[in-house]
A and B are shown apart, each in its own frame.
Chain A
């Protein structure tokens, strides 16, 4: 059972465009929703995260939109740059160390110059 579903699998965007990656979750006990960015040959690194008490969080060009009733959240990358080309993972977790971080399957983003 895949608890976090991510789409699309791959995305190609022109420089300056908006990249949008969507995720849906099933477990209503999740209370932490991070997005990780992974460059080839590197480990995933936290990009931005949100908790369900807010509907949107923005950090620079990166915004998470969160819809609790629909159990969906998305990552928007404004003014996409070639340096943003990477694999993006959404994830979800219950609070506390006894609970695991469940990842989506990842989206390979390519930003063309």
Chain B
């Protein structure tokens, strides 16, 4: 069973297009994240949702809009794609320690490689 899954795995698109990446976790966690990993492998958080509520919003262009329809899903929609958006995007989830989780362990999905031409 896949704990954190993302679709699609690869996404190739033209500049200016709008695209979405989907993420689902079956771990029962209440917190989900989106990370961006650039070409130098640097991992940077973009957003975090706890129980469908946005709790972390790093300095990300407003062309990026996360949407959490329920606790198990966190999708990322990107408008007007730019060349600099090319990266690998990772979804992750964790159980908040205050909510009874034993650790802050974040479980990552397999990633979506976005290439903007």
| Chain A residues in the interface with B (C-beta under 8 A) | 32, 34, 36, 38, 41-46, 49, 87, 89, 93, 95-98, 100-101, 103, 105-106, 108
Contact = CB atoms under 8 A, between A and B. Distances in A.
Contacts of B103: 32, 49
B104 A101 contact: yes
Contacts, number: 65
B55 A97 contact: yes
A64 B50 CA distance: 29
Contacts of B40: 105
Contacts of A106: 41-43
Contacts of B105: 34, 46, 49
Given A44-B108, A46-B106, A105-B42, 8 more contacts: A34-B104, A87-B41, A89-B43, A96-B98, A98-B55, A100-B58, A106-B41, A106-B42
A42 B43 contact: no
A49 B105 CA distance: 9
Interface string B15-54: 0000000000000001100000000111111001010000
